[in-house]
Each structure stands twice: as structure tokens, then as C-alpha cells.
Amino acid sequence: MRTIIVALCIVVDLGGIAARATELKPETAAAFDRYVHAMEARMDEETGRNQFLVVDRLPDARRTEAYEQLKNGQVYIEAMSAREGDRPIHAPSGLIHHWAGVIFIPKVTFDEVTEVLRDYDCHEETYKPQIRKSKLIERNGDESKIYFQFFNHSIVTVIMNANFDVRDTQFGSGRFQTVSRSTRIAEVENADSPNEHEKPVGNDHGYMWRLYTYWRIEEKDGGVYVQNESVSLSRPVPALLAFIVNPLVKSIPRNVLIHLLTDTRNAVVKAEAQPSAPAIEPARNDGMGVGSAEKSGSAEALYGTLFGQSPVWIGRSDILLTVSAGLEAWRPGRL
């Protein structure tokens, strides 16, 4: 299994993603903006139909099952897409990655979860090592400006400085949304050295040109449901290697999303746990299921499922990072 991951990492490297710079083209950025507009229109329509979380739009039987699995500690992950009418929206000279995930945190309150999400200065601790530095620049009522420095390492070390505009929205009692839209993402070279510098914005290796995240919080069922829907834009891969590399590149945001949700749950539980009460841990099982939550105990099965397009159920925190999309070669005991 490790051999497969390393081989794919080398393919990405040889494919030029880690070697050659590329430019973000105006038509690529415009397509991403159209995609976001369609996505946000869909979210507004679903909220109007009282479908606040992505699992709420599932058919009745599947929705009931999904909520039971969430309450049992599993993480729901689904590949998303936005359309203009009946037409998919493609970004020329770019790749759009769009995922949504939901997790349930029992025995906590709405305020306890939002306090963790809005404590931006502590995100470098909550979400390490993916977030290396974090800072709240300013806050004015429901609007904020924040800074993150992202980090990933395997064959290639990737560090990016990113600025975001954030807007919070309350949907009645017990429902909350915070939206973060990147305003600037710059790749960092020679970090922590006298020669540290940023590559020109939009003229870099294209690991991530845009990142928008939509957190939704709903308190019910004796706890809080936490949802993150993320959409990002990156460079494409060479056509000759697209068949091999595209599934890997597309899975990177998925694994980041799993990290975000489980790290959020851990941070909320840690902040609110009393000395006399044990920390709440995710329910454990022998594997993961897809749709019907079928069991699978092998890393190969996990790897194959994650590359599919069906909703993914993650039940074991100790195996969910066996595949890390070429950005982190995980080994037991490293987390």
C-alpha cells in the first residue's frame, strides 16, 4: 500500500506539478466565480426548504440512516457539484474541487462550537500541522479578516500564505453559518530562511489558487452537527498523466476536509471536558462504509472507496489518513 502511494507521489512530481510554474488565467478565475455563484444559489434554495445540512436533502430512509450514523460517531463526506441549469461548470486550465462533510459532536452546545471556530488566533494549534500560522487581523461585528499559513509535506513541501474575508450569519436559534473567502493566496519559497519569499500571486505551481469554506452549525439531538462545505481551485495536470494523477489531485481537498472536521470535534471536546469526565471519542468500528455503511477492514478497500464518487463514511480515526493524497505519507503512530 505504501508503495502505491509513493509511486503516485513520484508520478505527480514527474508530471511537472512540483517543478513548473503556471499562471492563473482570467477565464479560469471567471469560471470559478460562476461556479461559486451557482453553489451559493443552491445553498440558499436548500436553506429555504429547511435543508440546512447536506444530509437533509437525502431521501427519507437514507436521511434517517445518515443521522443515526452521524450520532454513532461517523463522518459523512460527499463529492459535490454545481451546475448552471443542466450544464456542469468547468474551469478551463484549472480544476475545481468541491466537497462537503458533516460530523456530530454530542453533549456540547452551539456556543461552545462557534467559540472554537471563531477563535482564529488558535487555529494554528487546533488544525496543526495543516495550518502553520493563524491570526485574526480585524473583526467588525459579523465580518472578520484573517490570515492563515498552510503547510503540507511529502516529496514536496508546500507552504502558502492566505488571507480571507469572513462573514457570520445567524439562522434563527441554533443555526449558524460562517463563510470564508480567500482574497489572496501566495506560495512561499524557502520558508524560515533568510531567503524566504513569496512567488507572484497567480503565477506559481498552482497547488491552490482559491479556497472558499462554508461552515454550518446546527444544535439538535443532544449535541451539535458541524458541516464544512469547501470549494477550491487548482491547476490541472498534464493530459498524458491525467488518468493517473487526476483522482489523486482531486482527493486532496477531501482529506483536508476530514482533518478539519475531526480536529474541530477534538478541539471542542478538549475545551469543554471537565476533569471528572472523560473526553468524548468518535465511535469505532472495523472499517468504513459507503452509502449503506458496509464494513471493510483493509487499507486497499479504504483507498479504493475514497477515490469513488459516492458519499464516504469514515468511522475510524486511526485509519482515515492511511491515504493522504500524496501530501503526507502516513505511518502508524505518526498522528
More confident: 112 or 245: 112
What is the per-residue pLDDT for 204? Answer: 87
Total residue length of the chain:
335
pLDDT 10s digits, 289-325: 333 333 323 232 222 233 334 455 555 332 222 222 3
pLDDT 10s digits, 78-94: 999 999 988 999 999 99
Hunting for cell 461548470 — which residue is that?
Answer: 89
Hunting for cell 426548504 — which residue is that?
Answer: 49
Q: Which domains does the chain have, with CATH numbers?
A: 2-281 (3.30.530.20)
What is the per-residue pLDDT for 275? Answer: 54
> Which residues make Cβ contacts (< 8 Å) with residue 49, sequence separation at least 6?
none
Burial class (CB in 10 A: 0-12, 13-18, 19+), 302: buried
What is the per-residue pLDDT for 260? Answer: 84
202 forms beta bridges with: none
Q: How confident is the model at residue 17 (pLDDT cuts 50, 70, 90)?
A: low
Determine the 3-state secondary structure of 215 from DSSP.
strand
What is the per-residue pLDDT for 134? Answer: 97
What is the per-residue pLDDT for 110? Answer: 92
Strand duo 75-79 + 95-106: pairing: antiparallel
pLDDT 10s digits, 49-78: 999 999 999 999 999 999 999 999 999 999
d(CA 63, CA 65): 5
More confident: 236 or 23: 23
Inter-residue contact 28 to 93 (CB < 8 Å):
yes
Look up residue 228 and give its DSSP letter.
E
State if pTM tops 0.85.
no
User: What integer is the mean pLDDT of 187-214?
Assistant: 90
